[in-house]
Amino acid sequence: MAEAVTALAAISRRRRTASLLYEAILLAAVLWCAGFLYAFVQHASGFAVPRWVYQFYLLLVAGVYFVTQWGKGQTLAMKTWRIRLVSRNGGRIGLGRGVLRYLIACVSVLSLGAGFVWALFDSERQFLHDRIAATRLVSA
């Protein structure tokens, strides 16, 4: 089965980029709703909290969104562009692998996309966070 996964893993850059852009729009909507809820609760309680608490909350919301969707195999953007996330052996990823992938992807974003640029030079076009978490994107 691993050979079949390897054969399917070469997703075009166009599809990956389109999926990432769509994912950014969806994530903005999720974070907007989470921010609205946070502002409502903060206003109702009357407590002022430090900015880092709000930023950590949004990072946590994004993490929950991605890890739960990846655990099912696809986010909405990935479904739209017929991309599926699997483990190296072709099965579903577990919670630990999803959290690791998310944390490494966050580091990639904070390093000005270095982990995403990695895919331009990778022989199998995998992102750095996929390499480290032993996951891969395949055609659905």
pTM of the model: 0.88
* CA–CA distance, 13 with 36 (Å, rounded to integer): 34
Tokens of 82: 């017929």
* CA–CA distance, 8 with 4 (Å, rounded to integer): 6
pLDDT class of 107 with cuts at 50, 70, 90? very high
The pLDDT value given to residue 12: 87
Mean pLDDT within 94-120: 95
The pLDDT value given to residue 47: 87
Query: Is there a contact between 88 and 5 (Cβ–Cβ < 8 Å)?
Result: yes
* CA–CA distance, 131 with 125 (Å, rounded to integer): 10
Tens-place pLDDT, residues 35-80: 999 999 999 998 888 999 999 999 999 999 999 999 999 999 999 9
The pLDDT value given to residue 78: 97
Q: 23 Cβ partners below 8 Å, 6+ apart?
A: 75, 77, 78
Three-state secondary-structure class, residue 125:
coil
For 54, the domain range is 2-139
> What's the number of domains the chain is made of?
1
If you write DSSP's letter for every residue of 61-116 in order, what string do you get?
A: HHHHHHHHHHHHT--HHHHHTTEEEEETTSS---HHHHHHHHHHHHHHHHTTTHHH
The pLDDT value given to residue 11: 85
* CA–CA distance, 22 with 24 (Å, rounded to integer): 5
* CA–CA distance, 98 with 88 (Å, rounded to integer): 13
